[in-house]
Amino acid sequence: MHSCKYIIVVCLVALCSCEPSSSPYNTWQVYRGDKASTGYSALSQINTTNLNQLKVAWTYRCGDAREGNRSAIQCNPIIVGNRMYLTSPRLKLIALDAGTGKELWKFDPFVNEEATGVNRGVTYREEGEDKRIFFSAGVWLYALDAVNGTLIPSFGKEGKIDLREGLGREPSTLSVWATTPGIIYKNLLIQGTALGEGYDAAPGFVRAYDTESGKIVWTFHSIPQPGEFGHETWDAEAYKETGGVNCWAGMSMDEEKGIVYIPLGSPAFDFYGGNRKGQNLFGNCLVALNAATGERLWHYQLVHHDLWDYDLPAPPVLVDVINEGEKIEAVAQVTKMGMVFLFDRVTGKPVFPIEEKPVPPSALLGEQTWPTQPFPVKPKPFVRHYYGDSDVVRISDTSYRYVTEKIKGAKKGSIYLPPDTAGVVQFPGTRGGAEWGGASVDPYAGVMYVNANEVPLLIKMKAVAVNETESIPQGEKIYTLNNCTMCHGADRKGTPVYPSLLKLQGKYSEKQVGELLQTGKGQMPAFPNLSPEDKKALIDFLFEKPSGSQQRAKDSVRGNYRYVHNGWIALTDQNGYPGVQPPWGTLNAIDLNKGEILWQIPLGEYPELTEKGIPQTGTPNLGGAVVTAGGLVMIGATYDEKFRIFDKNNGKLLWEHKLPAGGYATPATYMMGGKQYIVIAAGGGGKVGSPSGDAYVAFCLE
């Protein structure tokens, strides 16, 4: 066995000895399979007739899972020639022999430092003999020689560029990184970023870098500047302070047309927009840009003035559909609300009608919700859009009573129920519907396959005065307004995923906490925006010290109030099961030609509930599916740590295998030496909270 906890590759013995043809669907050199983000493979050696012959081909262990189940692997590996490129829990970039799993080289971007964040894949570019891997870790974007794993010194500064630069604000104060790989167009690397989601978030401008030098060639201002289209959809001065509107989920490309399709996130702060009144373009938009220049060709906003963290969670998928007898080159975008928006990818015209429907107003001071939100007529949502008393979980009388008591006084209703100080059951929640694993399509049939979550949250807002006469301690105000509450809660008690910050004296020294604020650790980002004075005040607050407690926090918000929330707290019963009637996780097949759901099945199970006679519930899931010409849909993603293969025509389970840890990543498939392989990362842990792993595992036909 090699050293990375678990990567499982499924290798099926060849039924024929031919290598892949030149079809774009026969290789896996790009994140999610191809630049159209289809997640599709034309390989069919592994098919519905021979899954009983599947066996583990090799397992590679990275050896660097984080203690306390605080790490994950979300990487979708790419395969170029006989090499596989992947990342480890602590973001080492690794090259393997794709046929054996033997390690060829390893690059560690965090030598003598704490690794931060997650990575979902890398980007490959080849020009003659120049073969490069672009890879993000921390604030840096690296260019490495794909052959030997050494930095390319002519790119940026000694092989790396700082993603905080070029955003129009002081780089040292910004928290910026990239979880998802960029996409190549000719000599450009088009790259999105991930950001903090508090009031001090950086702007999420999309940039194209020269692949040789690393210099910025063009920038798309996702928050329009004065004089630019869309600037009028904000408060006139909001662009100076508002952040977010970033492409963290990845993008897709029509290389022939030279168009890149970019799904954008919500403006920051996620749950209150009193300081950013208006429609807020290009927040929550699917934007089509000229890939060579960054010029906007068209856009469509899928959520107006977002107050729910409903950012677009996955790359759009390019697929041709037949609509009323006419072939349409389309782009399909899935959402956290479980909706599919389908557009003509040249004009942006909706393939099916989209209706603007009224939604409830907000009761929060200073907030002005947008009066309507868009709903596609077809396809119907693949998750539920309403939570009421009849939807409270009933897997036992105890569960029902527990959840009913928990939500007493909270508001319930539709997906666009605004956040409130009384508490709101948000359903399907910020991890509901589709997530970053995204959708896959069979490009020949026009059928989409997408896994989904239906997990409610209990969101409760709190007003915080920010005028200079307020006597709230500076450290408490910094904690409240700088994103800490979103993970650790307003009461600092933490969640099942994020640790408590109470009684820190027995866990950390003040020096250690100061270092964590400066560098970040694991999935906790750094907070470089804090001045030494603010950092000291925050540490004093966390360690419950009176020193400096009556100083005023520094902020420049317009108005007298900001609102924060109690954290991303899942609404669960006393045993941790979601507080809504099952299913809690599903796999869905959708005919994009007709706009119809073909089938929907629960994805995953809790064995202890099945043993009690409760029908399969599905589980929350993270990571996408791959669909193949062999008639298969392959997916890990579930809490029960299984890798499953389904019949793509009817959703019938054909095969399953218990992974060494949760497979919260999208698999890949490829041919090597006459055999078809399937590889999936088994990293577990992280935000899911299940045991962490560090492996990639493979299966093949005997």
Question: Exposure string (b/e) for 203-217, b if CB count within 10 Å is 16 or more?
Answer: bbbbbbbebeebeeb
- Pairwise CA distance, residues 19 & 40, whole Å: 17
* Domain end call among 520, 554, 588: 554
**Residue 496 — pLDDT band, cuts 50, 70, 90?**
low
User: Which H/E stretch holds residue 441?
Assistant: strand 439-442
Cross-strand bridge partners of residue 698? 9, 679
Task: State which of 554, 581, 614 marks the end of a domain.
Answer: 554
Is 462 inside any structural domain?
A: no
| Phi–psi pair at 80, nearest 5 degrees | -125, 115
Residue 75 lies in a domain: yes
Pairing of strands 625-628, 40-41: parallel
Pick from 598, 597, 595: which is nearest to 377 by CA?
A: 595
CATH of the domain at 513: 1.10.760.10
Per-residue pLDDT tens for 303-353? 999 999 999 999 999 999 999 999 999 999 999 999 999 999 999 999 999
Separation of CA 627 from chain center: 20
Q: Quick check: is 113 in a domain?
A: no
Domain boundary among 554, 584, 616: 554
- Name the domain count of the chain: 2
**Residue 378: per-residue pLDDT:** 98
**Same domain membership, residue 281 and residue 189:** yes
**Same-domain pairing of 16 and 81:** yes
Model confidence, pTM: 0.88
Spatial CB neighbours of 299, under 8 Å, sequence gap ≥ 6: 281, 282, 285, 286, 287, 288, 348
Asked whether the bond before 691 is cis by omega within 30 degrees of 0, the reply is no
Tell me, yes or no, whether 252 and 129 share the same domain: yes
Q: Are residues 531 and 626 in the same domain?
A: no
Whether 562 is covered by a domain: the verdict is no
Q: Are 158 and 144 in contact (CB under 8 A)?
A: no
Do 148 and 175 belong to one domain?
A: yes
Q: Are residues 545 and 400 both part of a single domain?
A: no
**CA-to-CA distance for 4 and 61, rounded, in angstroms?**
2
Q: What is d(CA 511, CA 658) in angstroms, rounded to the nearest whole number? A: 42
Q: Does residue 355 sit in the same domain as residue 432?
A: yes
**Cβ atoms of 449 and 648 closer than 8 Å:** yes
**Residues 295-305: pLDDT tens digits?**
999 999 999 99
On whether residue 17 sits in a domain, the answer given is yes
Averaged pLDDT for residues 175-200:
95
What pLDDT was estimated at residue 490?
A: 66
Is residue 156 within 8 Å of 214, Cβ to Cβ?
yes
Tens of pLDDT along 557-603?
445 668 888 877 899 999 999 999 999 999 999 999 999 999 999 99
Instruction: Clarify whether residues 475 and 412 are in a common domain.
Output: no
Distance CA 430, CA 570 (A): 10
- Residue of 366 and 207 predicted with greater confidence: 207
**What is the rounded radius of gyration, in angstroms, for the C-alpha atoms of the chain?**
24
Largest Cα span, the chain: 77
Residues 478, 488 contacting (CB under 8 angstroms): no
356 with 488, same domain?
no
Query: Would you tell me how many other CB atoms lie within 10 Å of the CB of residue 650?
Result: 10
CB atoms within 10 A of CB 543: 17
559 occurs within a structural domain: no
Is residue 181 domain-shared with residue 323, that is, in the same domain? yes
More reliable by pLDDT, 154 or 688: 154
Strands (E) across 38-174 are located at: 40-41, 54-61, 78-80, 83-87, 93-97, 103-107, 123-127, 130-137, 140-145, 160-162
Give the CATH number, domain containing residue 689: 2.140.10.10
**Nearest to 679, CA basis, from 70, 56, 30:** 56
As given in the structure block, the two tokens for residue 141 are 């974007």
Give the SS3 label for residue 283: coil
**One domain for residues 471 and 452:** no
- Position 567 scores a pLDDT of 76
Span of 83-92, 204-213, 473-482, 608-617 with lowest mean pLDDT:
473-482
Give domain status of residue 334, yes or no. Answer: yes
* Domain span at 197: 7-108+118-457+573-701
The owner of tokens 């804090």 is: 530
91 in Cβ contact with 113 (< 8 Å): no
DSSP state, 686? G
Residue 684 lies in a domain: yes
For the stretch 126-159, what's the b/e string if a residue is b when 16 or more beta carbons lie within 10 angstroms of its beta carbon?
eeeeebbbbbbbbbbbbbbbbeebebbeebbeeb
Confidence of residue 512 (pLDDT cuts 50, 70, 90): confident
> Are 682 and 62 spatial neighbours (Cβ–Cβ below 8 Å)?
no
Judged by DSSP in three states, 109 sits in coil
Distance CA 672, CA 236 (A): 57
Which of 241, 272, 277 has the alpha carbon at shortest distance from 556? 241
Asked whether residue 638 falls in the same domain as residue 666, the answer is yes
